[in-house]
Amino acid sequence: MSNVKVEKGVKPYAEAYYKPDMEPGNDYILMAFRITPGPGVDIIEAASAACAESSTGTWTEIDREISERLPSYVYRTDGNMAYVAYHPELVEKGSMSNILSSLAGNIFGMKAVDGIRIEDMRFPEGIIKTFPGPAKGIEGVREMLGVYDRPLTGSTIKPKLGLTAKEHARRCYETLRGGLDTVKDDENLGSQKFNTFDDRVKYTLEMVQKAEAETGEKKGYWCNVTAGDTEEMLRRAALVKEYGGRFVMIDFVVAGFTAVASLRKEIGRMGGLALHGHRAMHAAYDRVPYHGVDYRVISKWARMAGLDHIHVGTGVGKLEGTRTELEERLEILREDNSGVVNNMCFEQPWAGLKPVFPVASGGLHPGHVPVLLDIFGKDSIWAFGGGVHGHPGGSRAGATAVRDAIDGVMKGKTLDQIARQSRELKEAMEIWAEVKF
């Protein structure tokens, strides 16, 4: 039992919330916390304080009967790790916003902790089944584009800001004509004066259809519908559908899960659209190792909320991610049951929710293709920005270099062998060398 001094009139949280002899049932929500206790507080009391604050408790004893009827408790500690179980009726099913407000709402600002990080969450099937999950998933997105035997390709149009709507559309066309499957807006391209949303979606989807007619391949445009309010976001999504688009994109962390839920519901009603999630601002939550939320947890939220593909980092480009971290994220997004990759994670049953396409992006170029295949495998999407548009021959040549590299590597060839037959790849490799991990 915790042995911490407390102020007069304040009950030690551990008296009510530390229950190491109890084993939570499969219907409970489980959370794994990495905790740096505050001054004069031990791990048990700090974990119990977090448990109380995120369930039925407060700083003094009130209505213990309610806590006993809807029990939550710390059932194990191990070093600076604490494991907490929450009664499933404490949260509103089908509402990620309520779940996060309940279980993660105030804990990050408590004096009992100098740092607290959610390393993992395990949702029971009874809660998983109340969320929609992806509308298309990996299989559905492959069917939309007619590509089954290799990773899908994408390109974030660069520069991310400054192009007019027509310039943006032309760059998309050149990229798709070079052989990539999809193009996308970057996270901060909304409806600026120099490139309004309505003009951009109209001109770009005209160019997508032109590229399809000329190549005989299906193409896609991940159009960023994130807006200042939900009503405008849904209007933008409807416009994408009206102009024949296949994808919409949302900055899901900054827009929030209520906005994601509204957009997922709308594309389900309209039919035919897949939902891409850009993770803009995620590192404010997951970058600090002792405080915040690990991206493996954000990946679970994204799958439940209904995103069809999301960014996961690269490990080899400009963005973070160790090999183990990437393996965890890939398993969470793609597997029917996410296994235990290390001793701080839970096994997660997905109860039939479709798998999510992981997207590798951030500083990629053709020299990354072999290592991307090694890390991510075939069921992934690789998005190249500067590594396409920075090619000396322009966007079309950059896209051809990427496509040639992927097609050749899938046949077991090396980049050097492919470059002997591909002028575009040869020129790219003179700028960007092959990268190892």
Type of residue numbered 365: H
Instruction: Provide Rg for the chain, Cα atoms.
Output: 24
218 assigned to active site: no
Which residue in the list 278, 291, 354, 391 is annotated as catalytic?
278
- 32, 85 Cβ separation under 8 angstroms: no
Catalytic residue among 19, 136, 158, 291: 158
**Catalytic status, residue 168:** no
Rounded distance, CA 328 to CA 341, Å? 6
Q: Which tokens hold the place of 245? A: 């688009």
Q: Which residues are catalytic?
A: 158, 278
